[in-house]
A and B are shown apart, each in its own frame.
Chain A
């Protein structure tokens, strides 16, 4: 049915209410940034633009799509002006806009809310998101007049901070949003009832349009609305169990939760700089020379820093003793295992469990889980940490040889592409340096060794006067030869080498853990705060994740044995009885027992999980598969309304006359043919006839159908009158309807049928008993 154009006043009021309600709800995003005004003020302007364009456009009878387009264009220009200073993002403004958005995205990933504006301004993200919400609510509430659906985006806006930040809900934001939503609902329902008169269930009061707008009804509606809102605000206060987070993404409580965790680098920095050394854990082992004890792996590099990225820790990833086999490691590689019993001292509280790498068994009390990609262990229980914990594990030391490492093939497809991912716009200097340093090295492994040696030979280790940080800018100044450059500590060395390796296409990550313990009695070793360290791990096919040591000898005296071997020649180093190659290039000044053992690769193993690591499937296959799946999903989404509608049409046409009639109604509405509610069958059919393209067959079919329906609905015979095949009749009427519709209308009806969102109708109210008694006389 064609709706009358609303008056400009009414259209503007509805759009204004929708925009104001959305903006008020967006107030719940205040906690995302430390300066909420940076996005709330532009959103006021955007709300005015969206409401003004929407209200005037609808009053001028511009179609819903046209209004949305205008709103998007003008809103986009305002948003662009707010972010880049130019309403039309062309040239420099486009660059500015891109940069601002990139920075906002990185800031949102790197910082916990509220994001400090001094570090990263997330306002562009919030403005964009707010604009989307304004458009969506305006479209649903004012454009399509589906106000109940507008509650969904409003609720999403409101609950977003609860899920992401875990902040308390603000009651007055909720109350204002709910009231705005109720006003919108009231306006829509008043208009609907006003158009159609009242339903049959006779109440005493007349409910015609003027009556609905009367003071009494408004007062009643206001009372109901205010009471409901007040109850919604007050009742949870009285019932503590209702304090539920909508999106509980706490640390790994369920299967398959993604998790974002704090950066262990921060703790490393603090502990290295603390005034006195504090013992953190003791370890009893048959390993004569334990060293690198890994706490956590940092796998994600953004422009700002290295962070631990996401973890997949479903419940089946509890170690329960044994953990999956080492992946990426060739079975032929010789190996030695050692047992370790660890006692963590009270002072060391970590939600990560320090383990050897690689490790084959871990036995620890509590819900510790591992991620298959990184093989680090973290507590899945909020209250769980390492303080006072005793646990045991079995570590593996691989006997790697430089020759085999150099001969390794491509690692493509064996690890996730995340491990080679770098932010766009990396400064060219880093790539340039990486290429220059490794120019003479033919293989990946040799390039890695070249990088390690370059760091150790050309850089200075110092904890003093080095600004903390491992972001792009920090690395550029660390790598530069200017004053203050080429000085740093393990954090910068590990970060820089991993980034340069990624530049060269070698999967790389940064490990954080302990370097070398002190032996306090025979077979008992103690790690302390000063032993905290960071190092890069690079993935080499056949050997898994291989450790390198770019930090100069002042700190890490030894390097892994395999990085000292000549690639062409035979093994230079002697083999110790334990089977481990020993690095005897201890630098002067280093503690004698600091020599790292040459236990090389810890391997994220593959047994249980990701297909990308298991076989030699090329990475492009995964990409193609992902794109195909995405394409199929898009096609499916585009096709599903039509498929669903066609299926329902077939089902209904195969049913009785009532089903055929219901199908005719929906088809007519889909085609934009008016179908008045509350009219008799004959009246409805009379209104339909002009839309049947003058086809005698269609008109006759419609008449037959109406008579059959009348018999089935009103005659004594009832349902016995409905036997027969009604499909041809329904099809004939449908054909007539479609013949009159314009091509565009027909296409829209087929691909985006309106009745997809049609609310269910209520019919057949029971008559009050008195009135029923009365008419019994008439029978």
Chain B
């Protein structure tokens, strides 16, 4: 652990910027602070976010609000059944003037990509996102094009039971750092929304509060947050426990462990700490792991959700006491 330590000033900067973004988003998404926090965590941890919920609860609004809060390039791709992979990644076209092929970038070439209703596109098109999300590059016709940093995919999807959807394959779900559900607002928040959203569209009034360069700095601050060995072991133990559980037919992947620890670092930084606690890890476990796990047939028949199974697993993993000085 030879990384330079994060000093207090860095953490203050991070908190200030994050607070501005949070306030901005909350102007359009009211009464959902925990969802906004999760979004920020994923943003700072350089992950991708999957927002899953029934139609009309503000999935697109959230993704747009986040995109608008940051002064950077934003693209929105509306996934439809007839969307082609080249629409996502880009295509080489023949230029009659220059008599050569030139690359025309697709929707993925932006700092923030909002993939709306991603499960409405065919699996082939969904898969086009795979390389982009993990490796932050696009390969078309043997040419590889790097994506800008920061790069974040915010995808929304309807629950897979809805008609006209193609469930995301496991490989693609695993590439999202976290999944959040917005859920219905409480009555007071819904009332406030009626008052603010009927006369005008608050989304249009959002001004960017940060930019790509500042975001890059923030992510580097998060990268320096310290993860002690006991906490690392704790994260590994949780993942290992999901793999052993008889109630799950698919456990967490090593990439999931990686995402869990990265998210915990971002959460710790947001909490003003330059070190990760076991509580950060356990607190984020559901958002980071649940969408990657497949319940076994027995658990499904027994009516147990993945979240319940995960909760039981967490209760069974002992928290390490840490380095005794």
Q: Mark A200-212, 1 if CB is under 8 A from B, else 0.
A: 1010111010000
> Could you say which of B22-30, B84-92, B317-325 contacts chain A?
B317-325
Is the pair A764, B320 in contact by a Cβ cutoff of 8 Å?
yes
B110 within 8 A of A: no
CA gap between A719 and B244 in the complex, in Å: 36
Is the pair A775, B232 in contact by a Cβ cutoff of 8 Å?
yes
Q: Provided the pairs A712-B325, A719-B325, A767-B229 are in contact, do residues A197 and B317 lie with their beta carbons within 8 angstroms?
A: yes
CB proximity of A662 to chain B, nearest CB, Å: 10
Q: Mark B225-240, 1 if CB is under 8 A from A, else 0.
A: 0111111111111001
A245 within 8 A of B: no
User: Chain A residues near B245 (CB, 8 Å)?
Assistant: 206
Contact of B279 among A680, A778, A779 (CB under 8 A): A680
CB-contacts of A686-704 with B (<8 A): none
CA gap between A715 and B230 in the complex, in Å: 11
Is the pair A658, B258 in contact by a Cβ cutoff of 8 Å?
no
Q: Mark A63-88, 1 if CB is under 8 A from B, else 0.
A: 00000000000000000000000000
A61 within 8 A of B: no
A683 within 8 A of B: yes
Contact of A771 among B227, B233, B244, B323 (CB under 8 A): B233
User: Chain B residues near A710 (CB, 8 Å)?
Assistant: 275, 277
Q: Count chain A CB atoms within 10 A of each CB in B228, B276, B318, B319 and give the residue with the most.
A: B318
CB proximity of B219 to chain A, nearest CB, Å: 14
Chain A residue with the shortest CB-CB distance to B325: A719
CB proximity of B317 to chain A, nearest CB, Å: 7
Is the pair A204, B244 in contact by a Cβ cutoff of 8 Å?
yes
B254 within 8 A of A: yes
Is the pair A716, B274 in contact by a Cβ cutoff of 8 Å?
yes
CA gap between A763 and B234 in the complex, in Å: 13
Question: Which size bracket describes the interface of A in this complex?
Answer: 35 or more
A656 within 8 A of B: yes
Is the pair A718, B323 in contact by a Cβ cutoff of 8 Å?
yes
CB proximity of A546 to chain B, nearest CB, Å: 74
Q: Mark A644-687, 1 if CB is under 8 A from B, else 0.
A: 00000000000010100000000000000000011111110000
Q: Provided the pairs A208-B316, A715-B274, A716-B226 are in contact, do residues A658 and B257 lie with their beta carbons within 8 angstroms?
A: no
Q: Count chain B CB atoms within 10 A of each CB in A199, A677, A711, A764 and give the residue with the most.
A: A764
Contact of B258 among A677, A764, A778 (CB under 8 A): A778
A777 within 8 A of B: yes
Q: Mark A701-735, 1 if CB is under 8 A from B, else 0.
A: 00000000011111110110010000000000000
Number of B interface residues in the complex (CB < 8 A): 45
User: Chain A residues near B228 (CB, 8 Å)?
Assistant: 713-716
User: Chain A residues near B262 (CB, 8 Å)?
Assistant: 778
CB-contacts of B214-266 with A (<8 A): 226-237, 240-241, 244-246, 254, 257-258, 261-262, 265
Is the pair B321, A764 in contact by a Cβ cutoff of 8 Å?
yes
User: Chain B residues near A763 (CB, 8 Å)?
Assistant: 320-321
Is the pair B325, A197 in contact by a Cβ cutoff of 8 Å?
no
Is the pair B325, A200 in contact by a Cβ cutoff of 8 Å?
no
B186 within 8 A of A: no
CB proximity of B36 to chain A, nearest CB, Å: 22
CA gap between A472 and B78 in the complex, in Å: 114
User: Chain B residues near A778 (CB, 8 Å)?
Assistant: 227, 232, 235, 257-258, 261-262, 265
B282 within 8 A of A: yes
Contact of A775 among B246, B261, B278, B279 (CB under 8 A): B261
Chain B residue with the shortest CB-CB distance to A209: B316
Q: Count chain B CB atoms within 10 A of each CB in A656, A682, A767 and give the residue with the most.
A: A767
Is the pair A714, B231 in contact by a Cβ cutoff of 8 Å?
yes
Known: A713-B230, A714-B228, A772-B232. 20 other contacts (CB 8 A): A197-B315, A199-B318, A200-B318, A200-B320, A202-B236, A677-B318, A710-B275, A712-B325, A714-B231, A715-B226, A715-B275, A716-B275, A763-B320, A767-B236, A772-B236, A775-B233, A775-B235, A778-B232, A778-B261, A778-B262
Residues of B within 8 A of A (CB): 1, 3, 5, 226-237, 240-241, 244-246, 254, 257-258, 261-262, 265, 273-279, 282, 315-325
**What would 18 A/B residue contacts be, using CB atoms closer than 8 Å?**
A200-B233, A202-B236, A204-B244, A682-B277, A683-B319, A713-B228, A713-B321, A713-B322, A714-B322, A714-B323, A716-B275, A718-B323, A767-B229, A767-B233, A774-B257, A775-B227, A775-B258, A778-B257
